[in-house]
Structure 1
């Protein structure tokens, strides 16, 4: 009887471990830093994000993006090991490829080019977004925000 219970417990642990591995591959939790997405997300909020590449995105979705090097200047004193953390941003999709940009982008066409996105923060006065750094490659998308976990 004890052996059967041990086997059942081991099987349950294996299922749970497999489920957790699956969950981590498909989702991540990000912590919002700064005021750019207020009032939707505030500094310190934790957001559940479904990992997803840039295809099939819609205007209005909130996405987490790893900005390519050179798009956004890094704060002074940030080393290469921290650079990815400082390039990851959470923004709202303002327009997808083929849609007109809702704001002028300096030196770029008024329609979002193929493979790109126009991104905006919900707090226009406190956000660095496509108005400053232009269109962002859609393949830089890490995932789509699902829900607020904690405020």
Structure 2
């Protein structure tokens, strides 16, 4: 009886720890060349969930960009819908920082609650140079490190 109770307590502790881990971290897979040479297509990255207000310039962030999509002709539903497109980019500037080159935003400094995101591969990256300032609250987390296979 005591062994069963101890096993149940241990199992409950393990489940709680795994749930906390899942809420605090996630694993993402790099798609495309925009972060080369830092990260390559197919790399898996360990990400710590963090709000955009706590991000620093130079960190690599996972961000959910809002994106308007249009349905396929003949498809039922609304004319347009908003969905998130997840990207991995380096934070080039945070609110109050000077607007970095080559990004040309309005004004001399990054506005409140906004970020400038740039890919490490400028020739192969869609980033703030194309879509402008990104809302800081779109940040999902910060990359901690790549997860490498030891095979």
| TM-score class normalised by the smaller sequence | 0.7 to 0.9
* Structure with a larger share of its residues in strand: 2
Residue segments in structure 2 that go unaligned for 5+ positions in a row:
none
Q: Tell me by how many angstroms 1:38 deviates.
A: 1.0
CA RMSD of aligned residues (A): 2.4
> Structure 1 runs of 4+ off > 6 angstroms?
none
Task: Show the 5 A alignment for 1:1-151.
Answer: 3-70=1-68, 83-84=83-84, 87-106=85-104, 108-150=106-148
TM-score for the superposition, normalised by structure 1: 0.84
Equivalenced residues, count: 142
* Structure with a larger share of its residues in helix: 1
CA contact (8 A) 1:104 1:110 kept: no
Q: Tell me by how many angstroms 1:110 deviates.
A: 3.3
TM-score for the superposition, normalised by structure 2: 0.84
Distance 1:54 1:148 in 2: 21
